[in-house]
């Protein structure tokens, strides 16, 4: 079978620097990369053709921060005293879940959440796994599921010392071993991850930062998601969260700070100065009632801001819509942020945060062919080059994703997974969730 693929007859939103939109175009893919992208009818044929007539073709969406295992708690009736702040959410919900996770859960959740993201238009995710009783082998299990689906993943074990300093060291070793096992061009790669500065001491932060720089991989950390993080740092060091992380050498161009809800202007200036990126998780922030990150102020200072889901809602279109509306509400300004900025956060800015913008994040010649084709048959108003980005943020949802291509391979066709079955994913996920819920007495 030919490794060439032709996608034609679609309205192409390239997402490139010029914001180029091709009204009726085609994309020729060869060896997993975009060989040609142009307007009109192609002058060649191919064995493999996707006819996107009436549809919209966009770059694969990038989920810049997630916790795949979060999907296993979906719908659970929690048998706990209701939390009233973020610290209690961690103590009563997520930390018990973390401790109950098994290697089998790591695999099952990666398969289930990865499938959910693929079907909703995400072609790359950055995941941090946190299972103190299932450290060794966890990243290999997640990578196995990721490869079975054909989605891209940047994986890490999330270090914490909340139970025992040794678990952070073991987590760092798991991450390093995994990074060393990844080959160039693999669908999966590794990064370094710290849970948050309030669950680790200075030494492990410094070690992790040095390790990431030595291995030339990204490093990520939850940063002032809730006030517990900020208050901890003020009480123990007299510094705000970003100030402490900077003193310990963690900030840099390879750093992705997740959340950054409770940061002030001085911290924003530090993030900009160090050329660090911010993974914004608006729906999760609302769910946990932690506040609204000052994203408009970050964008004013040219900080790379990308979009994540934090392990909750895996439809990137819903996250885009939330990012559009929450900042307008928080600022009282209905023009605080627009669809163009939001779409960039979901595509090229996600690639840039992980130093992948030369290969991913937009539809351009010689870039990897990560492509999403949307069915526009139910769009209620005219779909034109002028209106399409507005529709991407205001109209479309994951339900409209028809086909998904990753590295030139069709991994979703007519809304169905191609490399594994949807039935298998559901079966594996339900079995794993049943065991987890039983261990948690839910």
Tell me the pLDDT tens digit for each residue of 293-333: 999 999 999 999 999 999 999 999 999 999 999 999 999 99
| CATH number of 314's domain | 3.20.20.140
Residues of the chain predicted below pLDDT 70: 1-2
* Per-residue confidence (pLDDT) for residue 1, from 0 to 100: 39
The pLDDT of residue 142 is 98
Under 8 Å between Cβ of 366 and 415 = no
Question: Do 379 and 253 sit in the same domain of this protein?
Answer: no
Give the tokens for residue 50: 């996707």
Do residues 275 and 332 both lie within one domain? yes
288, 374: one domain: no
**What local confidence, expressed as pLDDT, does residue 185 receive?**
84
The answer to whether position 430 is within a domain reads: no
How many domains, the chain? 2
Residue 34 and residue 180 in one domain: no
- Is the overall model pTM greater than 0.95, yes or no? yes
Query: Residue 185: inside a domain, yes or no?
Result: yes
Strand (E) or helix (H) holding 223: strand 219-223
C-alpha distance across the termini of the chain, in Å: 49
Say what the pLDDT of residue 237 is: 96
429 falls within a domain = no
At residue 81, the 3 state secondary structure works out as coil
Residues 178 and 268 in one domain: yes
Q: Are residues 184 and 280 in the same domain?
A: yes
Co-location of 344 and 393 in the same domain: no
Domain end call among 305, 336, 353:
353
| Residue numbers of the domain that contains 54 | 5-58+362-416
Distance CA 222, CA 95 (A): 15
Residues 35 and 71 in one domain: no
**pLDDT on residue 144:** 98
Instruction: Report if residue 137 sits inside a domain.
Output: yes
Domain boundary among 353, 372, 396: 353
Nearest-angstrom CA–CA distance, 111 and 410: 17
What pLDDT, on the 0 to 100 scale, is given for residue 442? Answer: 83
């Amino acid at each position: 079978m030919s490794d060439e693929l032709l996608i034609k007859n679609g309205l192409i939103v390239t997402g490139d620097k010029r914001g180029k939109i091709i009204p009726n175009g085609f994309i020729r893919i060869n060896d997993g990369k975009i060989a040609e992208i142009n307007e009109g009818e192609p002058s060649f044929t191919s064995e493999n053709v996707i006819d996107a007539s009436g549809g919209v073709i966009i770059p694969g969406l990038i989920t810049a921060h997630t916790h795949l295992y979060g999907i296993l708690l979906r719908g659970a009736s929690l048998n706990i005293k209701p939390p009233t702040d973020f610290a209690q959410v961690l103590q009563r919900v997520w930390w018990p879940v973390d401790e109950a996770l098994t290697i089998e859960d790591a695999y099952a959740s990666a398969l289930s959440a990865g499938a959910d993201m693929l079907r909703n238009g995400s072609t790359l995710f950055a995941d941090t796994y946190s299972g103190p009783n299932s450290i060794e082998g966890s990243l290999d299990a997640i990578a196995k599921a990721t490869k079975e689906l054909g989605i891209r993943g940047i994986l890490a074990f999330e270090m914490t010392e909340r139970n025992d300093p040794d678990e952070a060291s073991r987590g760092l070793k798991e991450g390093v071993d995994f990074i060393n096992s990844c080959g160039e061009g693999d669908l999966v790669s590794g990064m370094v991850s710290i849970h948050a500065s309030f669950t680790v001491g200075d030494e492990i932060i410094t070690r992790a930062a040095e390790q990431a720089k030595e291995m030339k991989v990204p490093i990520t950390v939850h940063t002032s998601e809730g006030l517990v993080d900020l208050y901890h740092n003020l009480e123990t060091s007299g510094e705000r969260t970003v100030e402490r992380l900077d003193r310990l050498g963690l900030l840099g161009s390879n750093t992705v700070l997740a959340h950054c809800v409770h940061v002030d202007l001085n911290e924003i200036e530090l993030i900009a100065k160090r050329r660090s990126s911010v993974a914004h998780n608006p729906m999760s922030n609302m769910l946990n009632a932690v506040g609204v990150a000052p994203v408009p102020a970050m964008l004013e200072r040219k900080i790379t801001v990308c979009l994540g889901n934090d392990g909750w809602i895996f439809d990137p279109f819903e996250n885009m819509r939330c990012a559009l509306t929450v900042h307008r509400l928080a600022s009282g300004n209905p023009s605080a942020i627009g669809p163009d900025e939001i779409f960039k956060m979901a595509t090229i800015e996600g690639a840039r945060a992980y130093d992948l913008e030369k290969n991913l994040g937009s539809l351009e010649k010689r870039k990897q062919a990560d492509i999403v084709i949307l069915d526009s048959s139910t769009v209620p108003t005219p779909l034109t080059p002028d209106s399409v980005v507005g529709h991407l943020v205001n109209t479309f949802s994951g339900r409209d994703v028809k086909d998904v291509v990753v590295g030139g391979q069709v991994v979703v066709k007519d809304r169905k997974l191609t490399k594994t079955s949807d039935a298998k994913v559901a079966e594996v996920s339900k079995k794993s969730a049943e065991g987890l819920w039983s261990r948690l007495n839910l």
